[in-house]
Chain A
Amino acid sequence: GQQVMQIPQYQHVQEGEDFTTYCNSSTTLSNIQWYKQRPGGHPVFLIQLVKSGEVKKQKRLTFQFGEAKKNSSLHITATQTTDVGTYFCAGNYGGSQGNLIFGKGTKLSVKP
């Protein structure tokens, strides 16, 4: 079945350092979404990317969708302790399936 692979599984950074998580699908995606889950919380929608090569920014967060629409990345510049949590990518394969397939997430910890 369709799978979305996400790396790394864990990332420990010093506050102020940058952070990047990568997401990859073996087949073309219709769109991809990113979610953040704080410790003990539930996933919260961050953004959706639809177009090939699309780049979107939210303050210190930069999201990219690959040209082939098979991969995506989330980059955080100058991490802060409030960035702590698990970041999930979720792929939508379109067609008759409107379901999101979630990656396993990247757990970010930030040392002050």
Chain B
Amino acid sequence: EAGVVQSPRYKIIEKKQPVAFWCNPISGHNTLYWYRQNLGQGPELLIRYENEEAVDDSQLPKDRFSAERLKGVDSTLKIQPAELGDSAVYLCASSLDGWGNYGYTFGSGTRLTVV
């Protein structure tokens, strides 16, 4: 079984430029999460999807961040424009149910560096 696939693995951009991250969850996992992990910290939730519906985006900085999950499978997370403080690892995760009762499966993440 393929795991959660994320791309790109690394991204370096200049501030004020746009950037996008892509995630393909485990087949059959209807719940998808985007987390941000700063160095030395735990992951922090940005947005949670149930199928194609964003059910919790309360922590998403909506002035510059956007996300979509068309058709309830793949998802993209976009930042426009990027700021220096956005440098972090962006993790995508999926779970079998909406409560994560069987654990979350994380992708390898995208390490973003904004210079």
Contacts and interface: CB of A to CB of B under 8 A. Distances in A.
> Are A and B part of the same complex?
yes
Contact of A44 (B43, B98, B106): B106
A100 interface: yes
Interface stretch (A60-68, A69-77, A102-110): A102-110
A102 B42 contact: yes
B25 interface: no
Interface string B84-115: 00000001000000111111111111000000
A88 B91 CA distance: 15
Contacts of B41: 104-105
B56 A100 contact: no
Tell which of A30, A45, A101, A104 has the most Cβ of chain B within 10 Å: A45
Contacts of B56: 97, 99
B96 to A, nearest CB: 11
Size class of the A contact interface (CB-based, 8 Å): 20 to 34
Contacts of B75: none
B102 to A, nearest CB: 8
Nearest to A99: B45
A100 B104 contact: yes
A108 to B, nearest CB: 14
A33 B109 CA distance: 20
B32 to A, nearest CB: 12
A42 B108 contact: yes
Interface string A13-39: 000000000000000001101010000
Interface of B: 31, 33, 40-45, 48, 56, 91, 98-109
Given A45-B104, A45-B105, A98-B98, 10 more contacts: A35-B104, A42-B106, A42-B107, A92-B100, A98-B100, A99-B56, A100-B45, A102-B42, A104-B40, A104-B42
5 contacts: A45-B103, A45-B104, A48-B101, A48-B102, A99-B45
